Structure 1
């Protein structure tokens, strides 16, 4: 039977869910508080520069293909993908670089150059990661997190030990070269936790990195949002921007309506892809599932200090994606997760889409996206932002052997306060709730409210977790639960 369904938010999970629900014949209205769609994956266009405001790594292309295939479409119906070579480069102390190529053979050669029997060790490591990837994608992540039994299959039983060891232990056990170890530990940061707190099973991210490669949607990552928006429109989804949700109204333990910009709108089902914690504050306290102390005890993925920079020249010695690992990896991780504070010497990341995608900057110019991972909930002031801008730009100029500061003609920052203001993000986190052992699958906040009938959730604070591919999967999972409701 067709239902009227409200979807709150317009990030990947909300848009995906809206598409699935509309395809199933429901009347779907999607509400976005900001003036543009995409949530954290919004786009900033200014002075001829195009910036992706959030996600910039296109990994796990098979998940995107599977999403569009559910609607008899392909990604290529909407956007063009370029495989990056190198996928990214890592810059170490003294400006030494390691490039991660676009094939396993190229990466094996790099590992052999850096460590005795490096290729042989990596082949064994990646073979296990590939098996875990197959199990994760085929058996686990498309489960709704309702029961612990979802984790028990013939394949996962053989992997049980990998849920009780960690990525850090596994890497340290096999490899000796510090640079290679950092490269292998890096991908799990997308899951929002330290490698020492991430179950070994999640080394499937290494296969996503090395085995499946790093891609770029031509025009920028927001092209993927634009594609899903086009799909949603074609399915009849009504999209509303500048639509702030002020209250979720509950009668007889059932979600009945939304207060949108002061107006009451009734629906049969309400689904929120907005921040989970924030969504529950839209309910009366008696209707909330999780207390403030519950959220406060959870391990959250980092927030970020971001800079969007326009340069009036082409830059040297940089690739599309660049990881600056010239400082102590562990010390920075401590400052995010263990004793939350601004890091003394932060690792940082920079991307320049205009290197391979000239349309994202004026001719002869470069666009730059710089990111420093930081603890959520810490102090955010303009003075702190400027202090850290100076820190990373000094290192950037030294490590890439060029002067760039005087060539900056556009600059915008985004940090904890902005994540709270623009996305109602709990403590200004950027990536959601970390995938630690005690925050995996059925141990995450639920897709379906346990207290309020016809109220559902999706996104990075629920199942399956942080990242764009998991967000698409989350949208599918919640749509299936709504169908069964």
Structure 2
């Protein structure tokens, strides 16, 4: 455990989600006196847990992907993932249902298994010639993934040209094409069968986007599920939150819940001196890290004259997709569904166009269903099953904002249950089911301060990815930094873990493109010397002391 050091920087972290907890733990290890402030009574942010009627649900992220990012953060903290998370390798990785000629009839299905060779054979049987094409696509995705890890994901882009080495320079024309061409266009050029294209394109939803809008650089995500694997931490994804919180506290961070921040206090010289809570309490700080929603931070917490991203600048940005989430109890078991099941409509493009055009998706629609009981039956009540439905929805905070709207969406959730039952051949699924709770875009807006009720963070389009994504430091408040899904590197639990490391890099003034060496030495923030945000603070403190000595 890192004890508080005399003269150590006081850092306030706003938000107790993945990014906030990871940042608090890392900076506390670095020797800072860290106070994390979470507005809600429980930690987790978008990564929540709900226990109701004998069922336990993850209410947010449910895919454990990109294990390297988890391993890196735990290694920074001098720990091992396996000592904190019991990871189960899923097989099948997921089950896919493709809409048939009858939209309310049985769907064609296939399993994506843990054996890549078996998958290539399955794809080949479905569409001759495409098995080899899918293999090549996955191999190429693996290469892109390694480049991203080595050159793009662990940089703050403080020096954008720093990502360019000889290898990147050699690939520059191709990388430029991957940024300017859509994911959907790249997939269509590689694979003929529309069903297999959907298997390669559904990751766009993880990016808050659609295949026609996300840059094709994100084809790298197909490496994760087709080659690398899909895992499940026993206890659910909330087990990650519990581990992060425990480690942050072990390192000496003070973690406070039910502590909503009303404003970030900025002095006349443009330095954040702390935060004021809704209760009126002032929490002093030498630096502030906001892991809350970036729009909320900049338009509600930062004083108007010190906003890097004022309200008018958000007119040019896209919030990405939201979601209708439904937590469902089913009488009896539904073995027709895997741990992860994906339901894809035939009119795939129209489905996405409706959502991103701020219109309700049709019924049937493309839907994701998590049935964790397929792996861990303890999450469900005796003799019953638990389903978590995610339907991509438009980012519209009015959806679910009234009792009437919420009741309507409960009915909509039941219609999607009917679709799932029909496609998967589950007898009388709606009649056997009780919708225990729904989460709507209004809930994301009100409960998490999410801009426009978005479920994930800023959409990953060309102009909102990599060096074009909002930087993780304010351009006006010298000691205000950001972490989380709407800053670099982007959306998702692994990238939020990386965003914590990028905050540490900003504090240290580190501009290299790779991850920090592991383990991070206890008290490593003292190594900043005259660099980075901490260097600026030290120079400011010295200047203030000099003025005081002169009697100024």
Both structures adopt the same fold (TM-score exceeding 0.5): yes
Deviations 1:406-427 (A, max 9, x none): 3335610001111011101100
> 1:315 and 2:327 equivalent?
no
- How far did residue 327 of structure 1 move? 4.2
- How far did residue 282 of structure 1 move? 1.1
Query: CA 1:378 to 1:19, structure 2 compared with 1: closer, same or farther past 3 Å?
Result: closer
- How far did residue 438 of structure 1 move? 1.4
Matched residue, 1:245: 261
**Which structure 2 residues correspond to residues 214-253 of structure 1 after superposition, within 5 A?**
214-252=230-268, 253=270
Query: CA 1:396 to 1:151, structure 2 compared with 1: closer, same or farther past 3 Å?
Result: same
> 1:257 and 2:274 equivalent?
yes
- How far did residue 383 of structure 1 move? 4.0
Matched residue, 1:393: 417
Q: Confirm or deny: 8 A CA contact 2:276 2:282 kept in the other structure.
A: yes
> 1:439 and 2:464 equivalent?
yes
Matched residue, 1:271: 289
Deviates more, 1:232-241 or 1:372-381: 372-381
Query: CA 1:326 to 1:442, structure 2 compared with 1: closer, same or farther past 3 Å?
Result: closer
1:26 counterpart (26, 32, 42) = 32
**Which structure 2 residues correspond to residues 383-462 of structure 1 after superposition, within 5 A?**
383-401=407-425, 402-409=427-434, 411-462=436-487
Residues in 2 aligned to 1:207 and 1:314: alpha-carbon distance in whole angstroms: 32
Matched residue, 2:161: 149
Residues in 2 aligned to 1:326 and 1:199: alpha-carbon distance in whole angstroms: 22
Q: Confirm or deny: 8 A CA contact 1:6 1:28 kept in the other structure.
A: yes
Deviates more, 1:319-328 or 1:411-420: 319-328
> 1:356 and 2:362 equivalent?
no
SS at match of 2:392: strand
Which consecutive unaligned segments of at least 5 residues does structure 1 have?
A: none
1:369 counterpart (388, 404, 415) = 388
Q: Confirm or deny: 8 A CA contact 1:250 1:257 kept in the other structure.
A: yes
SS at match of 1:391: helix
2:131 counterpart (95, 115, 119) = 119
1:171 counterpart (173, 176, 187) = 187
1:342 counterpart (360, 363, 367) = 360
TM-score, structure 2 length as denominator?
Answer: 0.85
- How far did residue 378 of structure 1 move? 5.4
Residues in 2 aligned to 1:397 and 1:130: alpha-carbon distance in whole angstroms: 35
Residues in 2 aligned to 1:408 and 1:115: alpha-carbon distance in whole angstroms: 36
SS at match of 1:195: coil
> 1:328 and 2:347 equivalent?
yes
SS at match of 1:149: helix
**Which structure 2 residues correspond to residues 80-91 of structure 1 after superposition, within 5 A?**
80-91=86-97
Q: Confirm or deny: 8 A CA contact 1:145 1:464 kept in the other structure.
A: no
Deviations 1:278-310 (A, max 9, x none): 111212211111122321221222110100112
Which consecutive unaligned segments of at least 5 residues does structure 2 have?
A: 1-6, 100-105, 400-404, 509-531, 534-552
Query: CA 1:470 to 1:195, structure 2 compared with 1: closer, same or farther past 3 Å?
Result: same
Query: CA 1:353 to 1:119, structure 2 compared with 1: closer, same or farther past 3 Å?
Result: same
Q: Confirm or deny: 8 A CA contact 1:341 1:378 kept in the other structure.
A: no
SS at match of 1:97: strand
Q: Confirm or deny: 8 A CA contact 2:414 2:435 kept in the other structure.
A: no
1:109 counterpart (118, 121, 138) = 121
Residues in 1 aligned to 2:241 and 2:118: alpha-carbon distance in whole angstroms: 32
Residues in 1 aligned to 2:18 and 2:343: alpha-carbon distance in whole angstroms: 28
Q: Confirm or deny: 8 A CA contact 1:188 1:205 kept in the other structure.
A: no
> 1:69 and 2:75 equivalent?
yes
SS at match of 1:258: strand
Matched residue, 2:514: none
Residues in 1 aligned to 2:362 and 2:159: alpha-carbon distance in whole angstroms: 42
Please report the RMSD computed on the Cα atoms of aligned residues, expressed in angstroms: 1.5
TM-score, structure 1 length as denominator?
Answer: 0.97
Q: Confirm or deny: 8 A CA contact 1:8 1:32 kept in the other structure.
A: yes
Matched residue, 1:7: 13
SS at match of 1:300: coil
- How far did residue 88 of structure 1 move? 0.6
- How far did residue 451 of structure 1 move? 0.6
> 1:44 and 2:50 equivalent?
yes
> 1:299 and 2:322 equivalent?
no
Residues in 2 aligned to 1:264 and 1:230: alpha-carbon distance in whole angstroms: 26
SS at match of 1:45: strand
- How far did residue 151 of structure 1 move? 4.1
Q: Confirm or deny: 8 A CA contact 1:103 1:213 kept in the other structure.
A: no
Q: Confirm or deny: 8 A CA contact 1:316 1:400 kept in the other structure.
A: no
Query: CA 1:324 to 1:451, structure 2 compared with 1: closer, same or farther past 3 Å?
Result: same
SS at match of 2:212: helix
- How far did residue 400 of structure 1 move? 2.0
Deviates more, 1:357-366 or 1:206-215: 357-366
